[in-house]
Amino acid sequence: MEREDDIVIFGRYEDPIEAQIVKGVLETNGIIAGVMEENISRGLMMSPTCVMVMRRDLQRAQEVLESAAEE
């Protein structure tokens, strides 16, 4: 059963620095966010880095990031 306080993946980023920037943009706009690496075996390639948010913030996080991209 889905709950509003579940932690969900907001986005996956190949560049961990990009993930940190996204996290910072979200937090600056009052959205609690976290970053974690997915544990996927991909040979010599780095694993994607995920930005996580609470389910209740998912839509607002998408709006915030879209707005930031337009600036």
Segment 47-67 shows an average pLDDT of 95
Query: Looking up tokens 């694993």, which residue turns up?
Result: 47
Question: Which of 14-18, 23-27, 39-43, 67-71 is the least confident region?
Answer: 39-43
Domains contained in the chain, CATH given: 7-70 (3.30.70.790)
Average pLDDT, the chain: 90
Amino acid at the residue 47: S
User: Percent of the chain having pLDDT more than 90?
Assistant: 75
- pLDDT for res 56: 97
pLDDT band at 40 (very low <50, low <70, confident <90, very high): low
The DSSP result for 5-58, as a single string, is: T-EEEEEEESSHHHHHHHHHHHHHTT--EEEEE-----TTSPPPEEEEEEGGGH
pLDDT band at 39 (very low <50, low <70, confident <90, very high): low
